[in-house]
Amino acid sequence: MKYAIIYSSKTGNTELLANVIKETMQGECIAFGKANLSIEDAELYFVGSWVDKGSYDKEII
């Protein structure tokens, strides 16, 4: 299975979680990184962001 992990991390916590997902998932990680990635070939997407007062990071939206 091909998967992509795209995240935005302000304090580093979301990045830590993204790394744990990458280390434990089976299959091929075709994209890992900041929110400016554009990936269409993945079968599964993990998207993470920090939240402030109920709003996500604009890069993730």
The pair of three-digit structure tokens given for residue 34, joined into one six-digit string: 């900041």
pLDDT band at 13 (very low <50, low <70, confident <90, very high): very high
Please choose, from the candidates 4, 41, 10, the residue with its C-alpha nearest in 3D space to the C-alpha of residue 25.
Answer: 4
Q: Judge whether residue 11 has pLDDT over 80.
A: yes
How many domains is the chain built from? 1
**For residue 23, what are the domain limits?**
2-56
pLDDT in tens, 17-56: 999 999 999 999 999 987 666 678 889 999 999 888 888 8
Handedness of CA 33, 3, 58, 12 (dihedral sign): negative
CA 31/CA 22 separation, integer angstroms: 10
- Examine residue 6 and state whether it is found in any structural domain, yes or no: yes
- Examine residue 61 and state whether it is found in any structural domain, yes or no: no
